[in-house]
């Protein structure tokens, strides 16, 4: 909590910009946890933690980055604490390897080369997308669209920066399995972005 003596670093928690960050945090937590209640809890906890340690935020990093850092730690703690609830065998069974692999195979011909329609196109200046709001909406939608169990592994790896070994330990799956799931997530996300965002500029060769 900020008090009089901490005016220099005082943060106005009901400022519209904070409200907007809070909304983004909630969306992030929801993507991550796929559980609206848990997501709300995490954001609350992160906000409380941020308020408690507002003094330690001395403009070291952008405010939003700092807030998201706290949120990520909260989610990591939550996942570690509840790892026993996430059953690794569920993960593997639900994934139905046969069906998923078939899906996957459709991108390639019998010899394992790209089908012409699915061959990754050239994206011109993709980084320009970062400044476009619609891009992030589509990115969110593509993440949402991943099957839950694949998204969970992908989010743990890429958003929460878990090492693969820890993901495997927590979910009780093998390294190989983990790699296949991550590969599938990347393949799916790429496809989704290309179809829904970059498609207009596809250059077929």
Partner 1 sequence: MLNCKEVTRLMSEGYERKLTLGERLSLKMHTMMCIGCTNYGKHMDFLRKAVRRLREGGAGGER
DSSP 12: -
Task: Using CB under 8 A, pick the residue from 9, 82, 122, 174 that binds partner 1.
Answer: 122
Rounded CA-CA distance 202/121 in Å is 5
Among the residue ranges 4-12, 22-30, 38-46, 83-91, the one whose residues contact partner 1 (CB under 8 A): 22-30
Residues 173-192 that bind partner 1 (CB under 8 A): 175, 178-180, 182-183, 186-187, 189-190
Is 94 one of the binding residues for partner 1 (CB under 8 A)?
Answer: no
Do residues 140 and 31 make contact, with C-beta atoms less than 8 angstroms apart? Answer: yes
135-154 positions binding partner 1, by CB under 8 A: 136, 139
Q: Is 172 exposed, middle or buried (0-12, 13-18, 19+ CB in 10 A)?
A: middle
Q: Is 117 in the site for partner 1 (CB under 8 A)?
A: no
Residue 93 phi, psi (nearest 5): -70, -45
Q: Among 20, 36, 58, 128, which residue interacts with partner 1 (rule: CB under 8 A)?
A: 20
Choose between 6 and 141: whose C-beta lies nearer to partner 1.
Answer: 141
Helix 36-52, helix 16-33: angle, nearest 10: 130
DSSP 195: I
Residue 80 CB contacts under 8 Å (≥ 6 apart), including other chains: 170
The residue from 3, 65, 81, 84 that contacts partner 1 (CB under 8 A) is: 65
Least distance from C-beta 55 to partner 1, angstroms?
21
Give the closest residue to 103 by CA, choosing from 118, 120, 92: 118
CA distance 103 to 181: 13
Question: Where along the sequence are the contacts to partner 1 (CB under 8 A)?
Answer: 20-21, 24-25, 28, 62, 64-65, 67-69, 72, 105, 107-108, 111-114, 119-123, 126-127, 129-131, 133, 136, 139, 158-159, 164, 175, 178-180, 182-183, 186-187, 189-190, 193-194, 205
């Amino acid at each position: 909590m900020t008090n009089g003596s901490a005016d220099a670093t005082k943060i106005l928690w009901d400022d519209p910009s904070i409200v907007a960050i809070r909304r983004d945090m909630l969306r992030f937590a929801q993507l991550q946890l796929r559980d609206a209640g848990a997501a709300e809890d995490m954001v609350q906890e992160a906000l409380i933690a941020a308020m408690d340690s507002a003094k330690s935020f001395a403009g070291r990093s952008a405010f939003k980055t700092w807030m998201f850092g706290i949120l990520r730690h909260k989610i990591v703690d939550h996942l570690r604490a509840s790892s026993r609830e996430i059953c690794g065998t569920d993960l593997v069974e639900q994934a139905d390897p046969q069906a998923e692999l078939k899906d996957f195979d459709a991108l390639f011909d019998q010899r394992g080369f790209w089908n012409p329609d699915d061959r990754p196109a050239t994206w011109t200046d993709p980084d320009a997308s970062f400044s476009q709001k619609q891009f992030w909406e589509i990115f969110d939608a593509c993440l949402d669209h991943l099957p839950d169990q694949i998204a969970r592994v992908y989010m743990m790896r890429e958003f929460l920066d878990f090492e693969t070994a820890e993901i495997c330990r927590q979910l009780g799956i093998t390294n190989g399995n983990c790699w296949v799931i991550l590969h599938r997530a990347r393949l799916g996300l790429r496809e989704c972005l290309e179809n829904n965002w970059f498609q207009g500029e596809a250059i077929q060769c």
